[in-house]
Amino acid sequence: MTQPVQIILAGVDPAEPDNWRLRNYLKRDGYVALKKIIANKIPPEAIIEEVKKSALRGRGGAGFPTGLKWSFMPRQYEGDKYLVCNSDEGEPGTFKDRDIMQYNPHILIEGMLIAAYAMGVKTGYNYVHGEIWKTYERMEEAVEEARQAGFLGNKILGSDFSFQLYNHHGYGAYICGEETALLESIEGKKGQPRFKPPFPASFGLYGKPTTINNTETFASVPWIIRHGGEKYLQLGRPNNGGTKIFSVSGHVNKPGNYEVPLGTPFAELLEMAGGMRGGRKLKGCIPGGSSMPVLPGDVMMKTDMDYDSIAKAGSMLGSGAVIIMDDTTCMVKALERLSYFYYEESCGQCTPCREGTGWLYRIVNRIEHGKGRPEDLDLLDNLADNIQGRTICALGDAAAMPVRAMLQHFRDEFAYHIEHKKCMV
């Protein structure tokens, strides 16, 4: 059995009230990576190279190679450039970034510092989800500590490198987790995704080149710099470097965050989480947050937890929110709840999502309440087709994918609901 290998959560003790503080972070090798870079005047290109080597992939959901993203940033650009941390963790089932910021905030600050150094950025924003106010306050305290200690601000550690970091909290709109909507929100506008291209690397915050990464992505960087990209890669699997925090929720005995190497078999992760609640059977699992396709229990049990393996199994690793459903779960009801979420959270900007999410929800709601019609299942499939890939941002896809997967794997259950006007479980 794989032991939990901890990079981000190593030495982190939520029970200890001062564990998050700078002095304790320093004891956990905190800011060693930053000091190393500054002391040795490591060239920025070398840092990006190291991150590329590590095969670190974006932990926010899309899994885009981080080093590659950093290399898109126009390094020679004279004007303002921005670094943004996406801590707007809104994906249902995901609660890892909250814990990173709550219990180990300096690792995020150090990660952002290294990224800023590598890309020649002087200003950064950390956009914190609007519904975790305490965490936002914790980040504020941590940033202040870092400023006092000379890790943030002008001429960091006596070098020519300066970096200002600001925390910015949202107001709880899911759509603001979409990176361009997040930028709009920081600019003080209504959080609505932008059409891409242009991408943030050329036209980002206030129209300036901007790099946006997830909290966990930044938090992985100090270790990579301390130990080298190669070593990080070896923790995981080829193309799936390092560890990943999985937020395990649902019908397990010990729901919570588990940091394990990528490639850890799902069965082991489930065991770490205390196994199925009441020893019941695993019916289905959403392996990457609510917008990813559900997989049946038996498929999941044969799958390893890394980007490529989960994709092969027919879903996506996403943000790493593992939602466990046992055999008492009504999949119609589960989908109704998911569809309601996307219906409520659609920003309303573009047609297929604004109109389609409501339509999807209403049909599933009808089926759940015994008013389904035989033609509804084909209609749902077709509507999901008409939404997916037709919208400005991925929220349309996020609303469509759960519907399609539920119908693919649990169609009988939906048909039963329609025919018998009640649940089969």
Nearest Cα to 325, choosing from 281, 267, 380, 357? Answer: 281
Cα–Cα dist 137/247, whole Å: 23
Q: Which is nearer to other proteins, 105 or 372 (CB)?
A: 372
Cα–Cα dist 373/15, whole Å: 52
Options 54-62, 76-84, 332-340, 347-355: segment touching other proteins (CB under 8 A): 347-355
To other proteins, the closest distance from the beta carbon of 87 in angstroms equals 21
**Which tokens is 242 given?**
């390092």
Which residues lie closer than 8 Å to 137 by C-beta, 6 or more apart? none
Q: Which is nearer to other proteins, 74 or 348 (CB)?
A: 348
To other proteins, the closest distance from the beta carbon of 398 in angstroms equals 13
> How many angstroms from the chain centroid is the CA of residue 313?
20
Which residues lie closer than 8 Å to 118 by C-beta, 6 or more apart? 44, 47, 48, 51, 70
Q: Which of 391, 398, 400, 403 binds other proteins (CB under 8 A)?
A: 391
Nearest Cα to 323, choosing from 405, 383, 389? Answer: 405
Q: Which residues of 158-195 are buried (b: 16+ CB within 10 A; e: fewer)?
A: eeebebebebbbbeebbbbbbbbbbbbbbeeeebbbbe
Q: Which is nearer to other proteins, 39 or 379 (CB)?
A: 379
Residue type, 391: T
Q: Which of 116, 350, 364, 403 binds other proteins (CB under 8 A)?
A: 350
Q: Which of 23, 171, 389, 412 binds other proteins (CB under 8 A)?
A: 389
Q: Which is nearer to other proteins, 88 or 110 (CB)?
A: 88
> How many angstroms from the chain centroid is the CA of residue 240?
15
Q: Which is nearer to other proteins, 359 or 416 (CB)?
A: 359
Options 63-71, 95-103, 288-296, 338-346: segment touching other proteins (CB under 8 A): 338-346
Cα–Cα dist 200/207, whole Å: 8
| Cis peptide, bond prior to residue 198, ω within 30 of zero | yes
Cα–Cα dist 406/410, whole Å: 5
Site membership for other proteins, residue 291 (CB under 8 A) = no
To other proteins, the closest distance from the beta carbon of 125 in angstroms equals 23
Q: Which is nearer to other proteins, 147 or 366 (CB)?
A: 366
Site membership for other proteins, residue 130 (CB under 8 A) = no
Site membership for other proteins, residue 39 (CB under 8 A) = no
Q: Which of 386, 408, 415, 423 binds other proteins (CB under 8 A)?
A: 386
**Which tokens is 68 given?**
């590659």
Residues 5 and 243 sit within 8 Å (Cβ to Cβ): yes
Q: Which of 36, 355, 394, 423 binds other proteins (CB under 8 A)?
A: 355
Cα–Cα dist 289/96, whole Å: 12
Site membership for other proteins, residue 311 (CB under 8 A) = no
Site membership for other proteins, residue 347 (CB under 8 A) = yes
> How many angstroms from the chain centroid is the CA of residue 31?
24
Options 65-73, 143-151, 284-292, 344-352: segment touching other proteins (CB under 8 A): 344-352
Starting at the edge strand found earlier in the chain, the sheet holding 282-286 runs 256-261, 243-250, 321-326, 282-286, 295-296
Options 82-90, 279-287, 322-330, 378-386: segment touching other proteins (CB under 8 A): 378-386
Cα–Cα dist 117/119, whole Å: 6
Site membership for other proteins, residue 320 (CB under 8 A) = no
Q: Which is nearer to other proteins, 119 or 393 (CB)?
A: 393
Window 167 to 226, contacts with other proteins (CB under 8 A): 173, 175, 190, 195, 197
Site membership for other proteins, residue 26 (CB under 8 A) = no
Q: Which of 50, 179, 336, 345 binds other proteins (CB under 8 A)?
A: 345
Options 138-146, 229-237, 288-296, 357-365: segment touching other proteins (CB under 8 A): 357-365
> How many angstroms from the chain centroid is the CA of residue 383?
27
To other proteins, the closest distance from the beta carbon of 170 in angstroms equals 13
Nearest Cα to 96, choosing from 60, 62, 127? Answer: 60
Site membership for other proteins, residue 17 (CB under 8 A) = no
Residues forming the site for other proteins (CB under 8 A): 173, 175, 190, 195, 197, 343-359, 362-363, 366, 373, 379, 385-386, 389-392
